[in-house]
Amino acid sequence: MKTIIYSTVKTPFGIMGITKSDKGLRRIYFPEEAPFIKALKKDFPNDKCVKNDIACGEIKKQIEEYFSGKRTTFDLDLDLQCPPFYKKVLKEVNNIPYGKTASYKYIAKRTGNSKAVRAAGSANANNPLPIVIPCHRIINTNGGLGGYGGNLQRKAYLLELEGIL
């Protein structure tokens, strides 16, 4: 049995949940996923979940700095748990700089399969680390916002925060 450490962080979207393993940041939850303990039990059924605000302090600090405009990149160890193709996509998404966007098609191309646009979109939609892995920076080829698991108003807010919209 592994131990998953969790805490919460105040954001402009409300209280978000954060989790980490011994390897790094594991999952970020949007406010509507509360109560977070219920979400944790669903996502980590075989692990021990322990609330520890101090152990999550650096994650909280960096997320708060991002929302206050003081941080443009995250410097956190990540424990990205997802299928190999999703991991490949999310690593490419993580390379998109603050204040820039890329298309689903561009990301698919960067993973070595320019025809995997829908699969790249699916990986993005299932990003377990929104905001830290900036899936909000992925837009449609025609310049439209596309989708966002955290809802389109949040995506627009994040793009505005970064000076894109």
CATH code of 122's domain: 1.10.10.10
Q: Does the annotation mark 135 as catalytic? A: yes
Give the count of domains, the chain. Answer: 2
> Does residue 95 sit in the same domain as residue 47?
no
| Tokens describing residue 120 | 């790249």
> Does the predicted model carry a pTM greater than 0.85?
yes
Question: Is 111 contained in some domain?
Answer: yes
pLDDT of residue 30: 96
Q: Which of 49, 56, 82, 135 is catalytic?
A: 135
> Does residue 111 sit in the same domain as residue 153?
yes
Strand intervals (E) in the chain: 3-11, 14-20, 25-29, 48-51, 102-103, 138-139
> Does residue 43 sit in the same domain as residue 112?
no
Pairing of β 102-103 and β 138-139: parallel
> Does residue 48 sit in the same domain as residue 21?
yes
> Does residue 11 sit in the same domain as residue 63?
yes
pLDDT of residue 147: 77
Span 18-37, mean pLDDT?
96
Instruction: Return the percentage of the chain with pLDDT > 70, whole number.
Output: 100
Q: Which domain holds residue 43?
A: 3-67
Lowest mean pLDDT among 5-19, 22-36, 134-148: 134-148
pLDDT of residue 132: 98
| Tokens describing residue 144 | 């439209």
Binned at pLDDT 50, 70 and 90, residue 149 comes out as confident
Residue 110 pLDDT > 90: yes
pLDDT of residue 154: 94
> Does residue 59 sit in the same domain as residue 93?
no
pLDDT of residue 83: 94
Question: Is 74 contained in some domain?
Answer: no
- Which CATH number covers residue 13? 3.30.160
123 and 90 Cβ atoms separated by less than 8 Å = yes
Q: Quote the CA–CA distance of 98 and 65 in Å, as a whole number.
A: 14
